[in-house]
């Protein structure tokens, strides 16, 4: 039974979930209903907050196959619960397939492809209603995805389109004919409407959702309680605060929904033409599209309403919505394996693998190309939320919760306050019973102590610092869509950088070319645009092998292609639509050199000779293009020189790849050495190759040939050397990060040695540091996976004192000196393929490589995301900075993702910089640290505020007194709110420092700070409370008391009259109350100043002018009413007259309190505790990792203390990367020795272990 009750859906994917089946139980429902009535609706709220409890309280377990409700739990670290109701969909099935097999096909994602193999007669019969049978499909919807029951899998599975399990052959053979209207209607029933609907919730719905937040429920409880106790003013103030908070929250949430809705809805419904089975064209709305429809791409372009694969024609597409690059991309039709000369076998279609043939939803088709009047057609493969754009919107609509220690510790801290409140609650009840207080008063006062201990203004106070930081970031051009992440950015200790466009300039400059003749490299040549080379194959390759196109007369395309084409100075002409339609074999794109470059060109003025010159015109037509593929690292074209019988194939790409596809005899012997020389200097090198094709290859055959048949046996032509300059600010920014002990990592799609060279140039790798290249090879021919370790040569810039022999192994660090540390630093570098092999076959080496991995080259987008995850797994706080192109996944996954692109792809990134410069990274970290410290200051202050007030009320309860309504109001509004909202205004410190702020509230320094201030405040408050009773003039206060000896004075008369007319049933007016009120009021201001620290993360508090002015005004006012009483103010605040001597005594108590608080906070904590712990930490840990934050051991000490006190928290270890660094100090096998190989054991899947074998 248990096996049936628990399954896993989306196995191995990011949104993997456990699923449990339940059926509604009537008797459980009745008991819960009774409980709801008995608890006044509180149980209903509890069940609303906890989906798991709601389902378990009202349902009983059932087999998933027959259940009515499913309970879902994510398998990630958050373990979040969701519930969904099972729904039934009535579909009509045909008599040729059993209902069971039909249901399987639905859920398998072949989308009712049940009519694929039926004859025309059968198809006709199916369309008649008399032949139909009804079948009900069970499904549920979660996060905008439908999950159907699959009898084959015995589990729920989401409905897939044609993007999974469909071969390229079947795309052409089974799906290229189009759908009948009956099949279209059938699929629409299953797939639903093709739209990415972001519904903007009504204000009422949002209001209910916001108000039902546990915190606002607690506030409501507090307000009701205060009204019962006649604290109307304070209750009103809290209501006003809550209303303002709710309204501002509603406004920002609704604004975000509207923005997202507008972004998605801009082109959500358009009219599209689709081809039906009988070749007829039908015009329908894009919302009616289903997988399998043949969409006709209009001539003037469109915004794609779905994901579709091109089967006919060519499109030029702007994919900035997805990739962040506004460079137009050429999309060609999917190769048809059945007509290919060489054939591709039965390759499965995948939108990711075949993205050069796939038009993605949300991208803009700028132009289309077609031949002989044929239409440009694409088969719809995914619709709605399954599309690439839909998945992006889903990730924004349903983000993963932000897991940050600060927030977890905040809840723990609140629990501590609740525990303190519980003690006060019990004390109040016992004290009141002993003093024979009425039952009603006991209930109100005991509950009142809870509302005092857990401050209602806490969330608003905590948010203030983040809001101010967000405003400051906006001023320096950094926009934030996830404000909670600002705090997390204060913890970043590692930042990954994309290279091109981020560390280096966006464009590449052509440095020169190095041609090959007779298998030898010629000397490098800077000028390509000359008469000598104009008819060479090298220049022909540069002129044709690109994806450039003219859009509205302007040449556009990949920046690298543009630079290459501009360098030769040729002209590109594209055939007009009319020409394409008229001629069957018209060459769509023609390139030719300018006339001045052709030696045989005659004067242009000789018009009579024009017809005879035609044969001598040198033009090359591009017949077929195989677009650049990042997986293949190359592109190629088939071209024909005007007048030639044979066609030419040209190829360009990564030098290693191009050389491997050339005839070995055409590749120079010193190819690798020359290439290495260039890449070491940081140049980007591209290789060119050429081949004459057989004369039997006609235009038609070329259109259907596979690229593998073209891309082989080429002649190596030479190298193009491009220069990618560092951005001016890059070295300085990276130096700032290194000084602040923040590790930097490069993640790029470029060549390995180029990346290492750039890393050295920008200071990411210091000249004396060693670079170890890890070359991992997957298992092959029965051999296990292995890693070859190579040591990259040290650059010549190294000084003789710091240079180490390239074969030497880094010496283990024995001394604590920093000089030795610098000498023995080493870095790992690897490419994307090696990274994937290591992830799969060497799991135990991954953490070790993450500790010193600095350069990751040739990384695919998903590999960048995996790298960020791997770094997070060893407890790094990871930042990611990219230009938006291919970095979306990594930007989303990182703790702090900063996009340098303002395009729509930046929606996926929490931060977007207006200026495309990495200088935004230190700025963001500085602001993050300031916001984090502000959060700590505010939290500490709010904790002290609640404890000081709790202490005041507890002391006064002992004499059956309390603080007055206006006293509460003055403290909470005039002091607390003013202080909280002004103390958060401290700007960030001017520069980054090496130490990091603590990551959570449960850290040694913060605990010491809070506990010491609590003890000081309670001590001085208690001193005043008990000392006043020892005064000779003291008596239990009554309306006729005259401690001031002011009988007959105006003050006494007015006070006397006041008290005569209004009796004090709550016993608020007494000497104890007045003493406690004055001392506690000053204490709030004292701790505010003590906690408002500046350096090293924030500017000093005296630069926060609003805070300084507010505190001075409050101090002056408090001193004035304490030392020079004003009758009217005393009447409002319900304080009584005390002798002048006692007022001076209270002032002395306050001054001593201030002195002790400031000394403990600034001297004991900052000077003694911090330095003792930090110096010990520096000796013990700084020597093995430069990223070790000094605060970590203090955090550890604090956690141990709390676990000892509360016995509710396990002993938490330090960050994993620190433990690992410590272990590696004593590992003789690490780092690996040069020219050695590490082999994976055969049982790699079980334990991931590996062994080192030295290859001699």
Known catalytic residues are: 498
Q: CA 1203 to CA 710: how far, in whole Å?
A: 69
DSSP 879-916: EEEE-SSS-HHHHHHSSEEEES--SGGGGGSSEEESS-
Contact 1097, 997 (CB under 8 A): yes
Q: Is 264 left (phi over 0), alpha (psi -120 to 50) or beta?
A: alpha
Beta bridge partners of 665: none
Q: CA 229 to CA 770: how far, in whole Å?
A: 73
Instruction: Name the phi and psi angles at 801, rounded to 5.
Output: -75, -30
Q: CA 671 to CA 678: how far, in whole Å?
A: 11
Q: CA 534 to CA 1049: how far, in whole Å?
A: 111
Query: Is residue 862 classed exposed, middle or buried when 0-12, 13-18 and 19+ CB atoms within 10 A define those classes?
Result: middle
Distance set, CA 645 to CA 169, 640, 976 (Å) = 32, 8, 88
Q: What is the DSSP letter of 66?
A: G
Q: CA 1196 to CA 1203: how far, in whole Å?
A: 11
Rg (C-alpha) for the chain, rounded Å, is: 37
Instruction: Name the phi and psi angles at 965, rounded to 5.
Output: -60, -45
| Side-chain-side CA neighbours of residue 229 (13 Å) | 25
Instruction: Name the phi and psi angles at 599, rounded to 5.
Output: -65, -35
Distance set, CA 119 to CA 96, 415, 861 (Å) = 11, 70, 44
User: Quick one: which of 764, 754, 845 has its CA closest to 494?
Assistant: 764
* Two tokens, residue 436: 């024979």
Beta bridge partners of 479: 912
Q: Which residue do the tokens 């193009």 mark?
A: 720
- E strand intervals along 705-825: 715-723, 743-747, 770-777, 786-791
Q: Which residues contact 692 (CB under 8 A, 6 or more apart)?
A: 646, 647, 648, 649
Helix (H, G, I), strand (E, B) or coil at 595: helix
Per DSSP bridges, beta strands 853-857 and 743-747 are: parallel
Q: Which residue do the tokens 């205004």 mark?
A: 985
Handedness of CA 44, 49, 53, 54 (dihedral sign): positive
Q: Which residues contact 708 (CB under 8 A, 6 or more apart)?
A: 342, 344
Q: How many helices (H) and strands (E) does the chain have?
A: 45, 42
Alpha-helical runs (H) found in 365-492: 388-397, 405-434, 439-453, 458-475, 484-489
Q: CA 102 to CA 89: how far, in whole Å?
A: 13
User: Quick one: which of 841, 708, 852, 832 has its CA closest to 775?
Assistant: 832
Q: CA 775 to CA 792: how far, in whole Å?
A: 12
3-state SS, 351-375, equals: CCCCHHHEECCCCEEEEEECCCCCC
DSSP 298-323: PTT-EE-SSEEEEEESEEEEE-HHHH
């Amino acid at each position: 039974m248990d096996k049936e009750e628990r399954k896993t859906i989306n196995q191995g994917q990011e949104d993997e979930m456990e699923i449990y089946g339940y059926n509604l139980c009537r008797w459980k429902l009745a008991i819960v209903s009774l409980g709801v009535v008995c608890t006044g609706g509180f149980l209903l709220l509890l069940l609303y907050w906890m989906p798991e409890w709601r389902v378990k309280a009202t349902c009983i377990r059932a087999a998933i196959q027959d259940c009515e409700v499913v309970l879902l739990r994510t398998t990630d670290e958050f373990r979040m619960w969701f519930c969904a109701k099972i729904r039934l969909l009535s579909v009509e099935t045909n008599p040729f397939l059993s209902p069971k097999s039909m249901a399987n096909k639905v859920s398998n994602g072949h989308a009712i492809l049940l009519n694929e193999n039926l004859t025309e007669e059968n198809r006709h019969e199916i369309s008649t209603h008399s032949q139909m049978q009804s079948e009900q499909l069970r499904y549920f919807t979660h996060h905008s995805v439908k999950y159907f029951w699959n009898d084959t899998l015995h589990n729920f599975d989401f409905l897939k389109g044609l993007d999974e399990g469909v071969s390229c052959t079947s795309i052409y053979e089974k799906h290229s004919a189009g759908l009948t209207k009956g099949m279209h209607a059938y699929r629409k029933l299953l797939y639903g409407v093709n739209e990415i609907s972001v519904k903007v919730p009504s204000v009422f719905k949002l209001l209910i959702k916001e108000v039902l937040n546990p915190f606002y429920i607690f506030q409501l409880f507090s307000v009701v309680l205060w009204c019962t106790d006649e604290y109307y003013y304070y209750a009103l103030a809290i209501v006003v605060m809550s209303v303002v908070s709710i309204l501002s929250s509603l406004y920002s949430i609704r604004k975000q929904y509207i923005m997202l809705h507008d972004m998605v809805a801009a082109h959500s419904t358009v009219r599209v033409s689709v081809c039906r089975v009988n070749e007829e064209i039908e015009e329908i709305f894009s919302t009616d599209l289903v997988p399998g429809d043949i969409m006709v791409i209009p001539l003037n372009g469109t915004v794609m309403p779905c994901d579709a694969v091109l089967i006919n024609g060519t499109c030029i597409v702007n994919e900035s919505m997805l990739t962040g690059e506004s460079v137009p991309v050429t999309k060609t039709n999917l190769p048809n394996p059945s007509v290919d000369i060489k054939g591709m076998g039965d390759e499965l279609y995948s939108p990711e693998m075949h993205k050069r043939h796939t038009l993605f939803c949300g991208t803009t088709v700028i132009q289309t190309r077609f031949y002989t009047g044929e239409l440009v057609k694409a088969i719809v493969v995914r619709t709605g939320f399954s599309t690439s754009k839909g998945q992006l919107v889903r990730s924004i609509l349903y983000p993963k919760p932000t897991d940050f220690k600060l927030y977890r510790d905040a809840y723990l801290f609140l629990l501590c306050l609740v525990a303190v409140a519980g003690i006060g609650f019990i004390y109040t009840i016992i004290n009141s019973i002993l003093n024979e207080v009425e039952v009603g008063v006991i209930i109100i006062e005991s509950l009142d102590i809870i509302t005092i201990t857990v401050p209602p203004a806490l969330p608003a106070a905590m948010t203030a610092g983040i809001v101010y930081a967000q405003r400051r970031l906006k001023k320096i051009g950094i926009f934030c869509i996830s404000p909670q992440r600002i705090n997390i950015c204060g913890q970043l200790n590692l930042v990954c950088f994309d290279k091109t466009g981020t560390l280096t300039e966006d464009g590449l400059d052509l440095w020169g070319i190095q041609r090959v003749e007779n298998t030898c490299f010629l000397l490098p040549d800077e000028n390509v645009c000359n008469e000598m080379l104009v008819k060479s194959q090298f220049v022909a390759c540069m002129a044709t092998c690109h994806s450039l196109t003219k859009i509205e007369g302007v040449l556009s395309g990949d920046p690298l292609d543009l630079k290459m084409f501009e360098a030769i100075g040729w002209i590109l002409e594209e055939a007009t639509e009319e020409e394409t339609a008229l001629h069957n074999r018209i060459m769509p794109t023609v390139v030719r050199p300018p006339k001045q470059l052709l030696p045989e060109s005659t004067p242009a003025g000789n018009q009579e000779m024009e017809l005879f010159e035609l044969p001598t015109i040198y033009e090359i037509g591009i017949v077929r293009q195989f677009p650049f593929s990042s997986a293949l690292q190359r592109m190629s074209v088939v071209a024909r020189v005007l007048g030639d019988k044979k066609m030419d194939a040209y190829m360009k790409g990564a030098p290693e790849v191009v050389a491997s596809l050339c005839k070995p005899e055409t590749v120079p012997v010193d190819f690798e050495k020359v290439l290495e020389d260039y890449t070491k200097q940081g140049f980007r090198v591209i290789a060119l190759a050429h081949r004459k094709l057989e004369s039997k290859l006609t235009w038609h055959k070329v259109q259907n040939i596979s690229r593998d048949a073209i891309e082989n046996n080429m002649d190596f032509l030479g190298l193009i050397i491009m220069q990618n300059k560092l951005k001016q600010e890059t070295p300085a920014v990276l130096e700032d990060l290194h000084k602040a002990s923040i590790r930097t990592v490069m993640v790029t799609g470029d060549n390995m040695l180029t990346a290492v060279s750039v890393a050295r140039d920008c200071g990411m790798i210091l000249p004396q540091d060693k670079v170890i290249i890890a070359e991992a090879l997957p298992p092959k021919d029965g051999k296990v996976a292995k890693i070859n370790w190579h040591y990259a040569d040290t650059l010549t810039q190294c000084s003789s004192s710091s240079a180490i022999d390239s074969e030497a192994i880094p010496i283990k660090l024995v001394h604590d000196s920093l000089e030795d540390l610098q000498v023995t630093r080493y870095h790992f570098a690897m490419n994307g393929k090696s990274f994937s092999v290591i992830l799969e076959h060497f799991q135990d080496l991954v953490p070790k490589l993450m500790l010193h991995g600095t350069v990751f080259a040739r990384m695919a987008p998903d590999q960048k995301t995996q790298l960020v995850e791997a770094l997070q797994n060893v407890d790094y706080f990871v930042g990611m900075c990219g230009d938006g192109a291919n970095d979306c996944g990594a930007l989303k996954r990182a703790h702090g993702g900063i996009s340098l692109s303002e395009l729509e792809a930046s929606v996926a990134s929490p931060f977007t910089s207006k200026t495309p410069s990495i200088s935004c990274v230190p700025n963001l970290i500085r602001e993050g640290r300031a916001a984090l410290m502000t959060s700590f200051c505010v939290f500490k202050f709010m904790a002290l505020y609640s404890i000081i007030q709790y202490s005041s009320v507890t002391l006064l309860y002992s004499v059956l007194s309390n603080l007055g309504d206006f006293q509460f109001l003055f403290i909470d509004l005039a002091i607390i709110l003013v202080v909280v909202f002004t103390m958060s205004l401290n700007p960030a410190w001017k520069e980054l420092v090496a130490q990091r702020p603590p990551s959570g509230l449960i850290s040694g320094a913060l605990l010491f700070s809070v506990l010491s201030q609590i003890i000081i405040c309670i001590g001085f408050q208690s001193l005043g409370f008990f000392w006043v009773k020892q005064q000779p003039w003291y008596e239990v206060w009554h309306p006729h008391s005259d401690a001031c000896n002011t009988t007959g004075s105006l003050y006494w008369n007015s006070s006397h009259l006041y008290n005569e007319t209004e009796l004090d049933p709550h016993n608020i007016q007494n000497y104890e109350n007045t003493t406690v009120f004055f001392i506690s009021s000053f204490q709030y201001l004292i701790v505010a100043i003590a906690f408002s620290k500046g350096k090293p993360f924030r500017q000093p508090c005296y630069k926060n002018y609003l805070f300084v002015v507010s505190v001075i005004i409050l101090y002056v006012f408090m001193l004035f009413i304490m030392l020079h009483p004003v009758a009217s103010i005393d009447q409002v605040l319900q304080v009584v007259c005390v002798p002048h001597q006692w007022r001076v005594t209270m002032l002395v108590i306050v001054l001593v309190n201030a002195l002790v608080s400031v000394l403990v906070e600034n001297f004991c904590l900052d000077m003694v505790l911090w330095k003792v712990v930090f110096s010990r930490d520096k000796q013990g840990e700084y020597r093995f990792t430069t990223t070790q934050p000094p605060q970590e051991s203090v955090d550890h000490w604090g956690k141990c203390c709390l676990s000892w006190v509360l016995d509710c928290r396990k002993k938490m270890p330090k960050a994993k990367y620190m433990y690992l660094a410590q272990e590696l100090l004593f590992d003789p096998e690490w780092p690996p020795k040069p020219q050695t190989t590490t082999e994976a054991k055969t049982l790699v899947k079980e334990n991931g272990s590996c062994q080192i074998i030295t290859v001699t």
